Amino acid sequence: MRVVIAGAGFGGLELATLLSEEFGDDADVVLIDKAAEFVFGFSKLDVMFGRTSAEHVAHRYADAVRPGVRFVQSNVRALDPVARRVTTDDGTFDADILVVALGADVDPAATPGLVEGGHEFYSVAGAFALREVLAGFAGGRVVIGVTSTPFKCPPAPSETALLMHDFLGARGLLDSSRVSLVMPLGTPIPPSPDASAAILDAFTERGIDWHPGQSVRSLDPVRKVAVLRDGDELPYDLFLGVPKHRAPDVVVASGLTENGYVPVDSRTLATRFPNVYAVGDVATVGVPKAGVFAEGAARRVAASVAATLRGDEQPDGYPGLGSCYIEFGAGRVGRVDVDFLSGPKPTGEFVAPSAALVAEKHHFGASRSARWFGR
Ligand SMILES: Cc1cc2nc3c(=O)[nH]c(=O)nc-3n(C[C@H](O)[C@H](O)[C@H](O)COP(=O)(O)OP(=O)(O)OC[C@H]3O[C@@H](n4cnc5c(N)ncnc54)[C@H](O)[C@@H]3O)c2cc1C
């Protein structure tokens, strides 16, 4: 049974690894990605703030050699969910089970003025380019602004504000600077009032301006102002944006999407097409767009494929659980353990920032690097 996985991000890598672990050389998995390297989302912030180098955080797919898994570096040009066929620049792949794990693309050009007058830190290229920009920043008004929902890793803009404060402090630029955060959400981490309160306290302590329930509609690069959804304007010297997100064009063109993303059964990750699944940011599951959830969804699909191949009962439904690490600045990391699907509404347990959680976050990344890339 051939499993074709389109997209080798958090979801695709975990799924391919689990199938390889389960079936070894007997697995017949084709893993396709246009990129040569994988970069963890949180590494983008590390590179941008000069905490590590771009080379250090790039994981080459060529190193991810696993029994039963063939990696194909190619652009996916078309997906046919009826025929379960993936067309790439380097050939066509027919699947018995097709898993769409192509993530969400960011579209800076969709926000007028963002490309000309600001910077985005959500793509690898955008975040890495910001390293030089920040190194040359002489202080002033920094606006971190989200342009729309949904967006990946809801804590990331808050983390960016706190790390920006650290960055300015380390360069003696705090007196001449002001950091503002524009967020469409009403609180930083909606499922966890405790985590939200801790982040808001950290903002208050540092004098970070918080604009909840707002988004950035456009930038005026000439006047250097960010125009908010309600028409208010925020002047900036440096604008760091979270661009609009959307499913990759090839997914939209395949007919798999509704309201922008791929609807799935949130317990099985199955699409409405037989033997076609969607995991991670590309899907509408009822969980946030974050790596831990993409990974959890991939685990459920792997268990289902294994059960089918072995003739076993199907596994329990995808639980929608995940732990997100939150950079609080000053060398501390907090954690929120969120449960999106098991109760009537999402809940989140907050674990206060500590040095121990810095080590735990490091282990989170290092353990994935080891499992997926043998590093
Ligand atoms: C600044 C920042 C910080 C973050 N921090 C965290 C964090 O701390 N914890 C966490 O859990 N999540 C975090 N995230 C979110 C996380 O990175 C994503 O949610 C996660 O990567 C989604 O996994 P995925 O498998 O759905 O998609 P992705 O990991 O985005 O993978 C999709 C893959 O599909 C490939 N692809 C797309 N289109 C094509 C095509 N046409 N042809 C071939 N290949 C294609 C891409 O190259 C990519 O490799 C962060 C994100 C950002 C931006």
Q: Which residues pair with 240 in a beta bridge?
A: 119, 144
Q: What is the residue-averaged pLDDT of the chain?
A: 97
226 neighbors 116 (Cβ within 8 angstroms)? no
H or E stretch covering 192: none
282 neighbors 262 (Cβ within 8 angstroms)? yes
Mean pLDDT confidence for 197-226: 98
- Report CA(137)–ligand 1 centroid distance (Å): 28
Residue 374 has pLDDT above 90, yes or no: no
Ligand 1: does its nearest atom lie under 6 Å from the Cβ of 261? no
Question: Quick one: pLDDT at residue 310?
Answer: 93
Ligand 1: does its nearest atom lie under 6 Å from the Cβ of 130? no
Q: pLDDT tens for residues 19-49?
A: 999 999 999 999 999 999 999 999 999 999 9
Of ligand 1's atoms, which has the minimum distance to the CA of residue 12?
25
User: For residue 36, what are its two tokens?
Assistant: 């040569």
Q: How far apart are CA 20 and CA 82, in angstroms?
A: 26
Question: Quick one: pLDDT at residue 166?
Answer: 98
Q: Which residue has the higher pLDDT, 189 or 374?
A: 189
Ligand 1: does its nearest atom lie under 6 Å from the Cβ of 153? yes
Q: How far apart are CA 124 and CA 105, in angstroms?
A: 11
CA dist 54 to 19, 46, 352, Å?
A: 30, 9, 29
Ligand 1: does its nearest atom lie under 6 Å from the Cβ of 100? no
Question: Quick one: pLDDT at residue 27?
Answer: 95
Q: pLDDT tens for residues 339-370?
A: 999 999 999 999 999 999 999 999 999 999 99
Buried residues in 301-320 as b, exposed as e (16+ CB within 10 A): bbbbbbeebeeeeebeebeb
Q: How far apart are CA 102 and CA 57, in angstroms?
A: 20
**Cis upstream peptide for 112 (omega within 30°):** no
Q: How confident is the model at residue 64 (pLDDT cuts 50, 70, 90)?
A: confident
Mean pLDDT confidence for 249-267: 98
Q: 244-246 and 105-107: which strand pairing?
A: antiparallel
Q: Whose CA is nearest to atom 48 of ligand 1?
A: 9
Q: pLDDT tens for residues 111-132?
A: 999 999 999 999 999 999 999 9
119 neighbors 298 (Cβ within 8 angstroms)? no
163 neighbors 45 (Cβ within 8 angstroms)? yes
Ligand 1: does its nearest atom lie under 6 Å from the Cβ of 236? no
Residue 262 has pLDDT above 90, yes or no: yes
What is the pTM for the complete model shown? 0.97
CA dist 31 to 41, 60, 76, Å?
A: 20, 14, 11
Q: How confident is the model at residue 375 (pLDDT cuts 50, 70, 90)?
A: confident
Q: Whose CA is nearest to atom 49 of ligand 1?
A: 9
- Report CA(5)–ligand 1 centroid distance (Å): 14
The SS3 of residue 72 is strand
Q: How far is CA 243 from the centre of its chain?
A: 13
Mean pLDDT confidence for 140-152: 98
Buried residues in 186-221 as b, exposed as e (16+ CB within 10 A): ebbbbbbeebbebbbebbeebebebbeebbbbbbee
Angle 152-241-334 from CA coordinates, rounded to 5°:
50
User: For residue 116, what are its two tokens?
Assistant: 């000309």
- Name the residue of 4, 14, 17, 42 whose CB sits within 8 Å of the most ligand 1 atoms, as the mutation to test its pocket: 42
H or E stretch covering 114: helix 114-117
Q: How confident is the model at residue 138 (pLDDT cuts 50, 70, 90)?
A: very high
Considering only CA atoms, which of 104, 1, 8, 28 is closest in space to residue 298? 8
